[in-house]
Copies of this chain bind each other. A is one copy, B any other.
């Protein structure tokens, strides 16, 4: 891969990474991480990371959202991949911005849809922790600590806002109607 250069494309207002060979413009956009605080009877599911960064530290089941899925589907997929758990989403618990990394994290509150969990390929170990047992010094990321704290604050309370997609277009896949003449 050639060295990309920073240049302002025609019609744009800021520098973008551009391939000097082929002119490809690598627009760098913030990425979306989807994850969940999954609990059962007051105990919270954490995964011990098998990969860098923060290998060996504990975190929530979470990862990068893929094209073609909804935030809900992404959160369920990540819970399955990392903790082999089928989750039932209750609502959005937190929306965090990690400006340093160009990341937005959408974190759900969830329960178990089916019993059972196990370490997926990116986890060394998956365990349920009571609130008093959480290994705070070994939590991988500040945002995981924030989400756990928020989970505790909201325990037993409804997640009133935000709304997510309405039932008539739960995946945001309906085409736009043809524009009417204005």
Spell out A's residues near B (CB within 8 Å): 1-2, 14, 19, 21-24, 26, 28-32, 53-54, 56-57, 64-73, 91-104, 106-107, 137-138, 141-143, 146-147, 149-150, 153-154, 157-166, 169, 171-176, 179-180, 182
Q: Which residues does chain B contribute within 8 Å of A176, judged by CB atoms?
A: 53-54, 141-142
Q: Which residues does chain B contribute within 8 Å of A146, judged by CB atoms?
A: 163, 165-166
Q: Give complex CA distance A111, B161 in Å.
A: 17
Q: Give A162 Cβ to nearest chain B Cβ, in Å.
A: 4
* A29 in contact with B32 given A171-B99, A182-B56 (CB within 8 Å): yes
**Cross-chain contact B28 with A30 (CB below 8 angstroms):** no
Copies per complex of this chain: 2
Q: Which residues does chain B contribute within 8 Å of A28, judged by CB atoms?
A: 67
**Cross-chain contact A96 with B164 (CB below 8 angstroms):** yes
Would you list 23 pairs from A and B whose C-beta atoms are within 8 A, ordered by A residue? A2-B24, A14-B66, A21-B21, A24-B26, A26-B26, A29-B29, A29-B31, A29-B64, A29-B65, A30-B65, A32-B32, A54-B176, A56-B179, A70-B99, A72-B97, A95-B164, A99-B173, A100-B173, A104-B106, A107-B162, A150-B162, A154-B161, A158-B160
